[in-house]
Amino acid sequence: MVTDHRQPILNLRLEGIGKRFGRHWILENFSDSFSSGEVIGVRGRNGSGKSTLLRLLCGQLTPSRGEIIFTLDGEHLPVGKRYPFVSWTGPYLEIVEELTIAEFLQFHFSLKPLAPGLKLADVPVLLELDQVRNRTLADCSSGMRQRVLLGSALYADTPLLLLDEPTVTLDEDAVAWFHAQLATYGKGRLVVVASNDEADLRSSTRQILIS
């Protein structure tokens, strides 16, 4: 499964970040720095900007104010070059429900490389969904769909892993599965988890509060 593969060293520096939608500021003057090997927990009330911060980190949104400096093995990467190095998932992401689990994974991992030592056939097994790999996502439970989304991020070979409310819709056994997978496949990566659920944040090495 996982081999001794060195992820590139990622450093993110956020300098006075602010994000405004219309007249409303979601984030204001936020500064911090994150590095490979950390698991950062992001907490905050609903609407405080947890998901917005993740979308800024992955380059889906650009700051209204301030700068995010993304450095990989010492080389600065502009926003347009960051996509191959980021895996991101959240419960609100839309998926094509007509696809089967196997088809969705095949499509996804044609865009993002699998972690070293993994083959595509391994992924449904790791998800504990191998027996239903040919079931359409429309016919899967919310917990099963959430596992598929998590697997698409966990098992990709990217130095940045962003997880928004990762255990939502998961039962107790599935939460334990998630943390076991994160311990293995999050190793050496920069992981940022946004949630107010302590079950999501139990693996964090540091937590920050957005108010």
pLDDT digit string (tens) for 109-159? Answer: 999 999 999 999 999 999 999 999 999 999 999 999 999 999 999 999 999
**Angle, nearest 10°, between helix axes 172-185 and 142-154?**
10
Q: Hey, what amino acid is at 201?
A: L
Would strands 160-164 and 24-35 be described as parallel, antiparallel, or unpaired? Answer: unpaired
Would strands 75-76 and 65-72 be described as parallel, antiparallel, or unpaired? Answer: antiparallel
Least confident range from 45-54, 87-96, 117-126: namely 87-96
Q: Please check the confidence at residue 13 and state whether its pLDDT lies above 90.
A: yes
Provide φ and ψ at 97, rounded to 5°: -75, -10
Contact between 26 and 20 under an 8 Å Cβ cutoff? The reply is yes
* pLDDT at residue 211, as a whole number: 82
Correct CATH for 36-59+83-210 of 3.40.50.720, 3.40.50.300, 3.30.565.60, 3.30.365.10: 3.40.50.300
* pLDDT at residue 2, as a whole number: 52
DSSP letter at 17 equals E
pLDDT confidence of 6, banded at 50, 70, 90? confident
